[in-house]
A and B are shown apart, each in its own frame.
Chain A
Amino acid sequence: MKKFFAQAYLWILLILLYSPIAFIAIYSFTEAKAFGNWTGFSTKLYGNLLTGNITGGHGLIQALENTLLIALVSAVASMILGTISAIGIYHLRGRKRKAVQFLNSLPMINPDVITGVSLFLLFVFLGFSQGYLTVILAHISFCTPYVVLSVLPRLGQLNPNIYEAALDLGATPAQALWKVLIPQLRPGMLSGFVLAFTMSLDDFAVTFFTRGTIGLETLSTFIYADARRGGLTPELRPLMTLIFLIILVVLGLLNTRQGKNAAQNHINL
């Protein structure tokens, strides 16, 4: 009985949390321009999305491409920078380590708006013209701390003798890094990468302040501009539904392939 109530509570919360997403999915199957209007079942919006014949032109596809490109570049860069730095931080001692770790924690504590405004002022101060490069630099700055925090605990679990043994057996430091250290750190790097990719994908405020005036749009800024104009591009509904389904399928595959361990690892992300 207790278990029944406990499960019921969880499922009520889940239904509440998922209702906006279900709302998007339901209204992706109608042609109505305005979100929330039902004009009968139709898959036309999916057709539009797949053929690229989108209301209001190519902006949405361009925004999707920008979002993915920025997320991919920032996540790869953060993964490399974060892993190298985690190894460095792991070997730092005392006050120096504390100082770096404090700086590393700042982007995670800072609200997006502050990060956005502060980086905006930096680029103005340095006279950088704002665009793709500044957005990517900004994303690297708030994504890398998550990679560092994913890789650091792995380093603590490593046997340091294996790396030393590789060196003793004649490996160059680069070989020892590439063939011994990196493979052992891979799970941490991977979850850092996934976190960084997710943070970048979902970002709105930082992109908003650092994209300059060259008309660079990501999905978030595109949706914001759309909503300000007073009407969402209808094809956003099928697009968001598809993105959610892809995530469900990917996680489902990971789960069935690696069983419960994967699920547990995932939670510790």
Chain B
Amino acid sequence: MGKRSNWALPYLIFLILFVALPLILIALYAFRDGNGSFTLSNITKFFTDGDALSTFAVSIEVAVENTLICLLLGYPAAWILANRDLNKSAVTAILFILPMWVNALMRTLATAELFNSLGFTLGKGTLIFGMVYDYLPFMIYPIYNVLQKMDKSYGEAAADLGATPAEVFMKVTLPLSKPGIFSGILMVFMPTVSTFAISEFLTNNKIKLFGTIIQENINSSMWNYGAALSLFMLVIIGLTTILLGGEDREIEGGTL
């Protein structure tokens, strides 16, 4: 038995080299200047860089709005898909993930072109709705998975004991589907807060998101400042994950 656990060793080395070390390097580069000596200037630069700060705020706002819209549109869809009385065919569920196989940039450009030809001016509105197109499946899927595996007898028991359908939903279905909602939020919020290219396409270069600022700095060889910006992004991601993940574990523990 002990021997086969060694099979994880090559991958552990691979993970340390290609996952852990690169993340450590972000932190390392963030606190160095061009000559390699320690400095806090990259960090302080961010707090005095008006462009970066406002982009950061806009990114968070757009990501929150996008996540909320995806949740509001996606939850009912997932609920219908998982409900055998309302939807018998598994094919409908597959139809929701199929678009993901078409190149995301191409789809985004087509969305922008579509908005354009319908007479919408490209800007914040098209940015948010364009992103909903891109990320809605990521919200629907985890919620659908949780709802599908949910033990239906809890809801039936509540109904037998006199709960109205609305009460069953609010007090049984919704709380039990929390893990799905949290991973859906994670899967939509993370990519939207950090996306680059997509925002430029959807707004005709009017609105930049945080990912773009990182990319611009890295591409113009401002590696240290780029690394510092990435570090801020990592902190946001880490906090979100802990916030949602911690709650997640509590819910999972609480289901029995």
Contact across chains for B77 and A13 when beta carbons are under 8 A apart: yes
The answer to whether A7 and B99 touch across the interface, beta carbons within 8 angstroms, is no
Instruction: Among A7, A81, A125, point to the contact of B14 (Cβ < 8 A).
Output: A81
Chain B residues closer than 8 Å to A16, beta-carbon distance:
133
Cα(A267)–Cα(B142), bound, Å: 10
Instruction: Output the least CB separation between A262 and chain B (Å).
Output: 9
Contacts A6-B87, A88-B8, A263-B94 known; A17 to B133 CB distance under 8 Å?
yes
Q: Is the CB of B102 within 8 A of A17?
A: no
Chain A 1-33, CB-CB to B under 8 Å as 1, else 0, gives 011001101100110111111011000000000
Q: Knowing A16-B133, A100-B11, A204-B104, say if A125 contacts B190 (CB, 8 Å).
A: no
Interface size range of chain B in the complex: 35 or more
From A17, A96, A267, B94 is in contact (CB under 8 Å) with: A267
17 contacting pairs across A/B (C-beta < 8 A): A7-B86, A9-B76, A17-B137, A24-B110, A91-B2, A91-B7, A93-B5, A100-B8, A100-B11, A103-B19, A113-B215, A144-B14, A223-B105, A240-B106, A248-B98, A251-B98, A267-B145
Query: What is the 8 Å Cβ interface bit string for chain B, positions 100-112, against chain A (1 contact, 0 not)?
Result: 1111111111110
Chain B residues 64-93 with CB under 8 Å of chain A are 73, 76-77, 80-81, 83, 85-87, 90-93
Chain A residues with Cβ below 8 Å from B133 are 16-17, 20
A113-B214, A220-B103 known; A106-B23 Cβ under 8 A: yes
Q: Provided the pairs A87-B4, A251-B98, A264-B90 are in contact, do residues A24 and B106 lie with their beta carbons within 8 angstroms?
A: yes
Question: Is A232 at the interface (CB under 8 A from chain B)?
Answer: yes
Stretch at the interface among B40-48, B172-180, B233-241: B233-241
Segment touching A, from B49-57, B151-159, B223-231, B246-254:
B223-231
Complex partner residue of A118 from B95, B104, B106, B230, CB under 8 angstroms: B230
Q: Is the beta-carbon distance between A21 and B233 smaller than 8 angstroms?
A: no
**Interface assignment of A104: CB less than 8 Å from any CB of chain B:** yes
Q: CA–CA, A209 to B214, complex, Å?
A: 11
Alpha-carbon separation in the docked complex, A81 to B81 (Å): 35
CB-defined contacts of A227 to chain B, threshold 8 Å: 105, 109, 197, 201
User: Provided the pairs A117-B230, A240-B103 are in contact, do residues A122 and B21 lie with their beta carbons within 8 angstroms?
Assistant: yes
Is residue B243 contacting chain A, with contact meaning CB distance below 8 A?
no
Contact between B15 and A113 (Cβ–Cβ < 8 Å)?
A: no
Interface centre among A13, A19, A113, A148 (most CB of B within 10 A): A113
Find chain A residues with CB under 8 A from B2 CB: 91
Q: Name A's B-contacting residues (CB within 8 A).
A: 2-3, 6-7, 9-10, 13-14, 16-21, 23-24, 35-36, 81-82, 84-85, 87-89, 91-93, 96, 100, 103-104, 106-107, 109-115, 117-122, 124-125, 137-138, 140-141, 144, 148, 198, 201-202, 204-205, 208-209, 219-220, 223-224, 227, 232, 236, 240, 243-244, 247-248, 251, 255, 260, 263-264, 266-268
Main secondary structure of the interface of B (DSSP, over half): helix
Q: Is B220 an interface residue (CB 8 A)?
A: no
B12 lies within 8 A of chain A by Cβ:
yes
Q: Which residues on the B side are within 8 Å of A24 (C-beta)? A: 102, 106-107, 110
| A-side interface mostly | helix
Instruction: Report the bound CA distance from A163 to B16 in whole Å.
Output: 31
Give the nearest-CB partner of A254 in chain B. Answer: B94
B116 within 8 A of A: yes
Given the known interface contacts A100-B11, A103-B16, the answer about A88 and B114 at a Cβ–Cβ threshold of 8 Å is no
Contact flag A204-B237 (CB < 8 Å), given A103-B15, A144-B11: no
In the assembly, what is the distance between CA of A122 and CA of B107, in Å? Answer: 31
User: Do B77 and A121 touch (CB < 8 A)?
Assistant: no
Smallest Cβ distance from B191 to chain A, in angstroms?
6
Q: Which of A36, A121, A205 is in CB contact (< 8 Å) with B22?
A: A121
With a CB–CB cut-off of 8 A, which chain B residues contact A255? 91, 94
- Please give me the residue from chain A that is nearest to B129 by CB atom: A16
